[in-house]
Amino acid sequence: MTADLEAIVTDVAAMMRGAQERGSVASYIPELAKVDASQFGLAVATADGRVVTGGDADTGFSIQSISKVFALTLALGKVGDQLWDRVGREPSGTAFNSIVQLEHEHGIPRNPFINAGAIVVTDINLGGHQPRVAIGEILRFLHYLAGDDDIAINEAVAASETASGFRNMALANYMRAFDNVRHDVDLVLGAYFHQCAIEMSCRQLALAGRYLMLDGRHPGGGRVVSPRRARRINALMLTCGHYDASGDFAFRVGIPGKSGVGGGIMAVVPGRASIAVWSPGLNASGNSHLGTLALEELARRTGWAGFSPP
């Protein structure tokens, strides 16, 4: 499979490089609108310890909502299943930044991957500290997971979202009214915007996702989370990782995945591979257009799609 995997990754990267339709870069965060849409990267970290890459796999990009997976892992480590008193576990069927459900559902967001849910998760991670403490913690967590201390925040992206994140401000204030955001809204959003502005390459992201491929184990030894927690995070990525397009992603790609508006997607094939793909152009649901196509092709050609037996 490994020799084949190299050929498949090279082929998929070549296909995506030549694609005509590339989607549109996110424009609601002005700094992301400047990114060159012609880029494409792919990295696959395998359970047997290899990393196979194609295209711009070492170029850094804004991980945005993919950070929500790592933030959720940290928050579950702090408060355990009590987290689910404040955040649901159902697909939302609405856009990532939607506010409509919050009123009907009394300020409890549908899941931890829509913006409202991720803001509550950040509120938990703040734990009475200043944003820089929570931000330092998530960065150190990523350094440990990826084995790479160069992962850092793009301050221009964080500043750009801080200046333009009016919907997130509305969501956070709304949930504060229900006491589901408990810190000062500016502190929570400061931590949230910086977490989203973390920059990683596909290689770094595929390496960071390995604990979800390995049933919660760190590939260097030791445990990041229990097997049950790793499996549940994967379940949430499958059902909620692509917002109102999660059903379509599960149907087409058939593996758990989490997207970000920077154009990245992290995907996990339990026991086999941790995958990161990046192409900045998005589809109408705010998920990478070519990233989704590339994962569909990769999963089909490797046989990893849709709960295939080993």
> Given the rule CB under 6 A, which residues bind ligand DON?
64-65, 96-97, 115, 161, 168, 196, 259-261, 286-287
Catalytic hit among 121, 201, 243, 259: 243
Catalytic hit among 12, 62, 65, 98: 65
Shortest Cβ 97–ligand DON spacing (Å):
5
Shortest Cβ 103–ligand DON spacing (Å):
19
Neighbouring CB atoms inside 10 A of 129's CB total 15
- Annotation says 65 is catalytic: yes
Shortest Cβ 213–ligand DON spacing (Å):
22
Nearer to ligand DON, 216 or 241 (CB): 241
Give the Cα separation of 252 and 106 in Å (integer): 34
- Annotation says 35 is catalytic: no
Query: What are the two backbone dihedrals, phi and then psi, of residue 61, each rounded to the nearest 5 degrees?
Result: -140, 165
Nearer to ligand DON, 199 or 215 (CB): 199
Nearer to ligand DON, 157 or 224 (CB): 157
- Annotation says 261 is catalytic: yes
The residue number with the shortest CB distance to ligand DON is 65
Shortest Cβ 65–ligand DON spacing (Å):
3
Nearer to ligand DON, 68 or 203 (CB): 68
- Annotation says 164 is catalytic: no
Catalytic hit among 261, 268, 269, 277: 261
Nearer to ligand DON, 259 or 279 (CB): 259
Catalytic hit among 120, 185, 192, 268: 192
- Annotation says 174 is catalytic: no
Residues taking part in catalysis = 65, 68, 192, 243, 261
